[in-house]
Chains A and B, each alone.
Chain A
């Protein structure tokens, strides 16, 4: 039986270039429209803090090397596919049967080894720079505890406990101000990722990780939990707000104060303490000392509720208490089954926690 030879060469040219370089360029271009300020677009190629900048440098070099490799090897592939295609009407003689070439194979083994060598040096250097940064004098120390699905933020040296928003002072070249984050978890594994400030570091129960940030610009930096931690992993956002040093001091002082008792919200206040709110929530200066849920002492000083799931408005706050599941399906705060009147009172009270 003679082997069948299909004489018709391919009728559709399969060669094509990848869309990735184009897309990458577009993306980076789009990102640079919002040049150099913290905001809603969290582009890892727009670092605004020293660790993120170190990562960015190593990333640029890596990208450049990979781009060159892609152009050369991809180009060779393209060339080979076009140049050595079987032409129509070609005779059926087989091409020269080459089994290998020691010199060529040696060359294309040595060159990658050299490239890897360079990358290893860059990696080792950047890794050490970022991970082994010692604390500078008067660095700020913050403890971040991951919960399902919110961030507990404690300033042990300042006596402040808050949630979901991390306020820090900016750093400038003259007087560097680093913030060290001690990362812990109360339940499952989470990950702290604010792309413009630093790479990710995980929060793992029964383990302490340390990372640092050094924001160079005032503003609000957005980030997400980056380790799948259950139902509402998607809505576990974190905000890092960088202030000028004086503003930061003012913020800290305000946070250190405990609330003033306003008589007009007495009903709401009493309801809050009578129902089981205090089992989970803390309000400094009162009997509410619950640790399971976020600290509410200065709830109104925050931009969002439920770690970014809703804006912090009275309506949303009321809606949250009415039934948290409507804003964050799966949240661990139960539906407290409060009446409309009770909701109004408690909302009014919470509105005074500025």
Chain B
């Protein structure tokens, strides 16, 4: 690969008036712009949905609080969960995939750039549709407003009889529309990875990030359709009077649960594995060692992807399956924990013997490692079916999945932001502000979610808008609510950092972190065509090979 020093303009998209720049975003098919649009929109939904969580915590801070009525509360937790998963989690994943995969495989764009744009706009419209329900769902009957059936919308609560007005219909339609965006993204990513890798980049020479995104995309293709199917069935029930989940006509409420969780469980891995992908790029660079056990990491993730399709009923241990059924799903759940645990050991092995640099991406990764370890262990507890009978549907499980999604996924997203922002915008994020972000958020996260484990152990069910005093839950809820303030403060620091650093950040150059994958061989930000000449690679770390010509990777791999 020839290195030529060419001064490229540091442009953040086009220069021009606001209208010109907005127009550019509306018509763009460039994977980098679309990736940033996905991520930016997702962050906005994060803040909106996070504010909802703030309101929830305000209501639950004291017993018998009447800050928020039960009807509004039930909408809040439904919208919070739905928006976080579908309007923050999925698009953040899509954004990272779309921005980074072509750069990492040495391609000029995704396989289908227009399809990429289509996917983004479907996601956005789906999201707007969901929130539009606040305005439009009451309709003529006055019933409704935003959906209030919980993010997993169990039947028959979602049937016409129990969910009047159109709130549930908005839930269904919004997710169908944005779900199309997810599926389309997945197809695009698979086609890109399979068909557009640069010369020499065999599958086992791809960055681990790319491998994991390939697996995630495969999972999306198999996990989203059950949700789509179930939602179509629910739509038919609600509009055409079909009987899929109409228990009065012999329909089965448990069937909805099966279909939903056949989607729902792989979904949480679809959210988490991209976090693993980011961490698998960042930890090696900041430990100054290659990923420990690359082939095993690939194999473990493939195993997670496939086994995760067989664990779904661990969300249904209390539904009344036979002891054989319950035991089967407990076994599969614990089996999927093995490759997941192995990945922690591999990251540990990468750090061990290294020279760890505590830059912000790495700091967030270290937080992730501890927190994900705990999340995994509470997950094992939940996998032991009898223990699950006490823990499920309580604040213990709320604590568990927030540990996975915030302590795990969100921390890796933060790490990814600090790591790749310089590549996308040509500027470093401010370190001091970043440390404030980290510490405030860390304290807030633990204040909020650590006590919730105990509230659950003391019998506090989830999805309740208030509780009586004297149950022993008061102190844990109060601490939990205080934590929300710290998290908000931490997020504020991040947002400020993102905006201020656009103009004021230190110039990044091509490769501020001394990293090894292809995206660091081009300018920051990359030109629209990504690479001057398409690269040819011989190993997993092409830039390492160039920097260490006497000691290249391809001699040892």
B204 CB to nearest chain A CB (Å): 12
* Interface residue? B369 (CB, 8 A): yes
CB-based nearest A residue for B69: A329
| A residues neighboring B (CB under 8 Å) | 1, 3-6, 9-10, 12-16, 18-20, 23-24, 26-28, 30-31, 40-45, 52, 54-55, 58-59, 62-63, 65-66, 69-70, 73-74, 76-77, 80-81, 84-86, 90, 94-101, 104-105, 108-109, 112-113, 116, 119-120, 122-124, 126-128, 130-132, 148, 183, 187-189, 191, 193, 195, 198-202, 204-207, 209-210, 222-235, 308, 329-330
Query: Do B556 and A97 touch across chains, with their CB atoms under 8 A apart?
Result: yes
Query: Do B295 and A100 touch across chains, with their CB atoms under 8 A apart?
Result: yes
Contacts of B369 in A (CB 8 A): 77
Query: Do B253 and A189 touch across chains, with their CB atoms under 8 A apart?
Result: yes
Query: Do B511 and A10 touch across chains, with their CB atoms under 8 A apart?
Result: no
Contacts of B352 in A (CB 8 A): 80, 84
Contacts of A26 in B (CB 8 A): 454
Instruction: Taking A23-B450, A227-B154 as given, write out 10 further A-B residue pairs in contact, using a Cβ cutoff of 8 Å, ordered by the A residue number.
Output: A4-B512, A5-B514, A9-B358, A19-B450, A95-B288, A100-B349, A123-B330, A193-B459, A329-B71, A330-B71
Query: Do B459 and A44 touch across chains, with their CB atoms under 8 A apart?
Result: yes
A14 to B441, CA, bound (A): 13
* Interface residue? B54 (CB, 8 A): no
Contacts of A183 in B (CB 8 A): 320
| B residues neighboring A (CB under 8 Å) | 5, 69-71, 74, 148-150, 154-157, 161-162, 247-248, 250-254, 287-290, 292-296, 318-320, 322-323, 326-327, 330-331, 334-335, 337-338, 341-342, 344-346, 348-349, 351-359, 363, 366-367, 369-371, 373-374, 377-378, 380-381, 383-394, 435, 438-439, 442, 446, 450-451, 453-454, 457-459, 461-468, 470-472, 476, 508-515, 520, 547-548, 551, 553, 556-557
Using A55-B389, A99-B557 as known contacts, say yes or no to A43 and B514 having CB atoms under 8 A apart. Answer: no
A44 to B391, CA, bound (A): 9
Query: Do B323 and A128 touch across chains, with their CB atoms under 8 A apart?
Result: yes
A101 to B463, CA, bound (A): 47
Query: Do B355 and A126 touch across chains, with their CB atoms under 8 A apart?
Result: no
Contacts of A66 in B (CB 8 A): 377-378, 380-381
Query: Do A205 and B386 touch across chains, with their CB atoms under 8 A apart?
Result: no
Contacts of B458 in A (CB 8 A): 27, 31, 41-44, 195
Query: Do B466 and A234 touch across chains, with their CB atoms under 8 A apart?
Result: yes
Query: Do A226 and B334 touch across chains, with their CB atoms under 8 A apart?
Result: no
Contacts of B438 in A (CB 8 A): 14
Query: Do B320 and A207 touch across chains, with their CB atoms under 8 A apart?
Result: yes
A97 to B284, CA, bound (A): 10
Say which residue of B344, B384, B466 sits within 8 Å of A59 (CB atoms): B384
Query: Do A43 and B453 touch across chains, with their CB atoms under 8 A apart?
Result: no
Contacts of B463 in A (CB 8 A): 228, 233-234
Say which residue of B342, B351, B553 sits within 8 Å of A80 (CB atoms): B351
Contacts of B355 in A (CB 8 A): 84-86, 90, 94-95
Using A128-B323, A189-B253 as known contacts, say yes or no to A58 and B384 having CB atoms under 8 A apart. Answer: yes
Query: Do A42 and B370 touch across chains, with their CB atoms under 8 A apart?
Result: no
A118 CB to nearest chain B CB (Å): 10
A132 to B553, CA, bound (A): 58
B230 CB to nearest chain A CB (Å): 15
Query: Do A187 and B353 touch across chains, with their CB atoms under 8 A apart?
Result: no
Query: Do A6 and B390 touch across chains, with their CB atoms under 8 A apart?
Result: no
Contacts of B292 in A (CB 8 A): 98-101
Query: Do A23 and B454 touch across chains, with their CB atoms under 8 A apart?
Result: yes
Kindly list the 4 A-B residue pairs having the minimum CB-CB distance in the complex, ordered from nearest: A199-B389, A10-B358, A42-B459, A234-B464
Contacts of B513 in A (CB 8 A): 3-4, 6
Query: Could you list some 18 contacts between A and B, CB below 8 A?
Result: A10-B363, A12-B358, A20-B453, A40-B470, A59-B387, A73-B345, A84-B287, A85-B355, A98-B290, A101-B293, A116-B337, A116-B338, A123-B331, A188-B154, A189-B154, A191-B318, A193-B394, A232-B70
A164 CB to nearest chain B CB (Å): 15
A113 to B319, CA, bound (A): 28
Say which residue of A85, A191, A232, A234 sits within 8 Å of B356 (CB atoms): A85
B261 CB to nearest chain A CB (Å): 14
A27 CB to nearest chain B CB (Å): 4
Contacts of B69 in A (CB 8 A): 329
Query: Do A200 and B384 touch across chains, with their CB atoms under 8 A apart?
Result: no
A131 to B330, CA, bound (A): 15
Contacts of A85 in B (CB 8 A): 355-356, 358
CB-based nearest A residue for B246: A206
Query: Do A99 and B294 touch across chains, with their CB atoms under 8 A apart?
Result: yes
Contacts of A19 in B (CB 8 A): 446, 450
Contacts of A81 in B (CB 8 A): 351, 356, 366
Query: Do B374 and A70 touch across chains, with their CB atoms under 8 A apart?
Result: yes
A347 to B380, CA, bound (A): 53
Query: Do A14 and B154 touch across chains, with their CB atoms under 8 A apart?
Result: no
Using A59-B381, A116-B337, A131-B323 as known contacts, say yes or no to A189 and B250 having CB atoms under 8 A apart. Answer: no
Contacts of B381 in A (CB 8 A): 59, 62-63, 66
Query: Do A205 and B356 touch across chains, with their CB atoms under 8 A apart?
Result: no
Quick one: which of A1, A198, A234, A329 has the most chain B CB within 10 A?
A234
Contacts of B462 in A (CB 8 A): 226, 228
Query: Do A31 and B154 touch across chains, with their CB atoms under 8 A apart?
Result: no
Using A81-B366, A200-B393 as known contacts, say yes or no to A112 and B356 having CB atoms under 8 A apart. Answer: no
CB-based nearest A residue for B457: A44
A149 to B5, CA, bound (A): 72
Using A1-B509, A199-B389, A232-B70 as known contacts, say yes or no to A188 and B162 having CB atoms under 8 A apart. Answer: yes
A19 to B374, CA, bound (A): 11
Using A24-B454, A209-B320 as known contacts, say yes or no to A6 and B357 having CB atoms under 8 A apart. Answer: yes
Query: Do B71 and A42 touch across chains, with their CB atoms under 8 A apart?
Result: no
Contacts of B70 in A (CB 8 A): 231-232, 234, 329-330
Quick one: which of A12, A63, A100 has the most chain B CB within 10 A?
A100
A123 to B383, CA, bound (A): 9
B14 CB to nearest chain A CB (Å): 25
CB-based nearest A residue for B543: A3
CB-based nearest B residue for A224: B461
A253 CB to nearest chain B CB (Å): 32
CB-based nearest A residue for B387: A59
Contacts of B287 in A (CB 8 A): 84
A85 to B119, CA, bound (A): 42
CB-based nearest B residue for A56: B390
B301 CB to nearest chain A CB (Å): 14
Query: Do A200 and B338 touch across chains, with their CB atoms under 8 A apart?
Result: no
Query: Do B338 and A112 touch across chains, with their CB atoms under 8 A apart?
Result: yes
A148 to B162, CA, bound (A): 10
CB-based nearest A residue for B380: A66
Say which residue of B155, B357, B386, B392 sits within 8 Å of A54 (CB atoms): B386
A117 to B69, CA, bound (A): 47
A319 CB to nearest chain B CB (Å): 16
Say which residue of B330, B366, B450 sits within 8 Å of A15 (CB atoms): B366
A23 to B290, CA, bound (A): 37
Using A1-B510, A86-B355 as known contacts, say yes or no to A131 and B326 having CB atoms under 8 A apart. Answer: yes
Query: Do B338 and A113 touch across chains, with their CB atoms under 8 A apart?
Result: yes
Query: Do B337 and A187 touch across chains, with their CB atoms under 8 A apart?
Result: no
Contacts of A131 in B (CB 8 A): 322-323, 326
Contacts of B353 in A (CB 8 A): 84, 95-96, 98
Contacts of A330 in B (CB 8 A): 70-71
B65 CB to nearest chain A CB (Å): 11
A64 CB to nearest chain B CB (Å): 11
Contacts of A232 in B (CB 8 A): 70
A207 to B253, CA, bound (A): 9
A86 to B357, CA, bound (A): 6
Using A97-B289, A193-B459 as known contacts, say yes or no to A205 and B464 having CB atoms under 8 A apart. Answer: no
